[in-house]
Amino acid sequence: MSYDKVLQAKELIIGTKQTLKALDDGIVSEVLIANDAEYRVIYKVEALAKTKEIPLLYVDSMKKLGKACGIDVGAATVALRK
C-alpha cells in the first residue's frame, strides 16, 4: 500500500506548495495524491509531475495520508525526496 511508502520514507515533502517547489527543484522521486483532495488544489502538482515524468500514486484519504506523515491534519499531496 502507498501509505507504507510514506511510513518508510527517510524524507517527506508534505503539502501542495512544498511539493510544487520540490518538483521544480528536481528533488522528487515519487508523488502521492489523495483522491479526496479538491481538484483545484492538486491539479498543478499532477500536471507538473506528469511533465517531469515523476511517478504518481493515488491514495484514498487525505486524513490517512496526513496521519502516515505524522501530522494531525490531512495532506492532499506528499512527495518522496530522491
| Residue-wise pLDDT tens digits, 30-74 | 999 999 999 999 999 999 999 999 999 999 999 999 999 999 999
- 3-state SS class at 79: strand
> Cα–Cα distance between 49 and 54 in angstroms, integer?
5
* pLDDT score at 41: 95
The answer to whether 15 and 24 are in contact (CB under 8 A) is no
| Residue-wise pLDDT tens digits, 14-36 | 999 999 999 999 999 999 999 99
pLDDT bin (cut points 50, 70, 90) of residue 1 is: low
> Cα–Cα distance between 30 and 2 in angstroms, integer?
11
> Cα–Cα distance between 80 and 58 in angstroms, integer?
13
